[in-house]
Amino acid sequence: MGRVGVLLLNLGGPEQPDDVRPFLFNLFADPEIIRLPFPWLQRPLAWLISSSRAKQSQANYQQIGGGSPLRRITEEQADALKQVLADKGTEANIYIGMRYWYPFTEEAVAQIKRDGVEKLVVLPLYPQFSISTSGSSFRLLERLWLEDPALQRIVYTAIPSWYERPGYSEAMADLIAQELDKLENPDQAHIFFSAHGVPVSYVEEAGDPYQREIEHCTELIMQSLNRPNPHTLAYQSRVGPVEWLQPYTEDAIEQLAQQGVKDLVVVPISFVSEHIETLQEIDIEYREIAEEAGIHGFHRVPALNTHPRFIADMADMVTEALEAPCQLFSDVVQPDKKVKIYPQERSAWGLTPVAEVWNGRLAMVGFLALLLELVSGRGPLHFVGIL
C-alpha cells in the first residue's frame, strides 16, 4: 500500500490571550467565512473585525482558562486513531491541519511531503459539510496540490462528510443517554441540539448542504437513541446583522421555558471536540439564558473527544477510504457545481462594467465609514453587535 498518512482537518483556536487577535484575523480573512464581492476588501475588513472583537473574545477565552483546548484534544484524537488503526493492521502517520491557527494546514502538508507519504486520507473533523468549514479547508488543499507537482504524486481520498455513519450516531446517542440517565425523570427531559449556524445565503444562494445534513443528522441520532424524549434543533454563534439559520439557540431556549420545560439536555451536534462554543457559549452564556428564563435543569452532553466508538468509526472510515476509489478535492468542494465555492461567478453578484465602478466607489465609502466608526465607537455596526 505504501506509506500511509491521515490528515485531520479542524478549525484551530488561540492557545493564549495574545493569539486571539491574529486568530480572528485569519478567520475573517477567509472569503468562505465572510463573502464579499470585492476581494481587496477582505483583509481590511478582517483587520477591523479582529481588532474590534479581540478584547471581548479574550475575555471569553479567559472564562475557559485563557485559551482553546482544541489543539490538545485533536492531538489526543490523533493518537487514539493511530493506535486503533495499528490494532487493525494499518500503520499510518496522523497529521493535524488547522485552518486558522497552529499547526496550520500548510505545515501539515509540508510534513506529509517530507515524510514521503504515498497514500493519504483527508478526514475533516466536521461531521457535516459546509463551505465555511470542510469546504474552506478542501479549497486550500486543492490550491496547494495544484501548485506543487510533488504533492500530485500522492494518491489521496478526501472524505466530505460522515454524519450518516452509524458509529458516529451511536457514540452521540450513548453520550446523550448517559446524561439522561442522571436525571430523576429522564423521559421528560427535552433534548436540545445546538449546531453552529451559517448565514442563510450560504444555503439558499451558494447551495451549502449544511442545514440539510444537520437536520438529517439530528434524526439519525434520535433514532439511535430510541428514547421518547421531545427534541429541538437550533443554531448558535451567529455574527453580524445578516440572517442566519433559525431558530437561534437563545430564542429557542426562551420559547421552551415558556412552554414549561424544566430539564434541558443540550447536545453540541456539530462539534466533536470541546472548545469555545461548548465551554463558554453553551456552558456559560446559554446556561444563564436558560436559568433566567426559568429552566434550572440545564444539562450539557459532552463533546465526543476520544469516545471509543467514535475513534473506532474514524478508523473504519480511514480503512474504507484506503480501499475505495480516490475522491478528489475538486469533486468534494464543487460536486456537479451545485455548491458555489468563493469566488462566485460575476453574474451571481449582478455585476456589469458600469456597476463595478459604482460598486467600487460605494465599497470605498463603506470602508471609510467602518474606519470612522471604529475610531469614534459609534454607528450602526456597534448597534447590531459586529463591533
What confidence tens digit (pLDDT) does each residue in 317-356 have?
999 999 988 888 888 765 444 566 545 443 333 333 333 3
CATH fold of 166-300 reads Rossmann fold (3.40.50)
For residue 15, pLDDT beyond 90: yes
170 is in an annotated binding site: no
CA Rg, the chain, in Å? 22
Q: 135-149, 185-199, 231-245: which has the minimum mean pLDDT?
A: 231-245
CATH code that applies to domain 4-163+307-333 = 3.40.50.1400
Mention every residue, 6+ apart, whose C-beta is less than 8 A from residue 232: 190, 191, 192, 193, 247, 252, 256
How would you classify residue 275: left for phi > 0, otherwise alpha for psi between -120 and 50, otherwise beta?
A: beta
What tens digit of pLDDT does each residue of 55-95 get? 999 999 999 999 999 999 999 999 999 999 999 999 999 99
Beta bridge partners of 264: 190, 298
Give the model's pLDDT for residue 37.
79
The model's pTM is 0.87
Helices (H), 186-342: 200-204, 210-225, 249-258, 276, 287-293, 308-323, 329-333
275 is in an annotated binding site: no
Give the model's pLDDT for residue 352.
33
**Same fold across 4-163+307-333 and 166-300:** yes
- Pairing state of beta strands 92-98 and 297-300? unpaired
193 touches 141 (CB < 8 A): no
What whole-number distance in Å separates Cα of residue 145 and Cα of residue 260? Answer: 54
Mention every residue, 6+ apart, whose C-beta is less than 8 A from residue 308: none
Domains in the chain: boundaries: 4-163+307-333, 166-300, 355-379
Contacts of the segment 247-254: beta carbons below 8 A, 24+ positions apart: 248/197, 249/194, 249/286, 250/285, 250/286, 250/289, 252/192, 253/192, 253/286, 253/289, 253/290, 253/293, 253/295, 254/289, 254/293
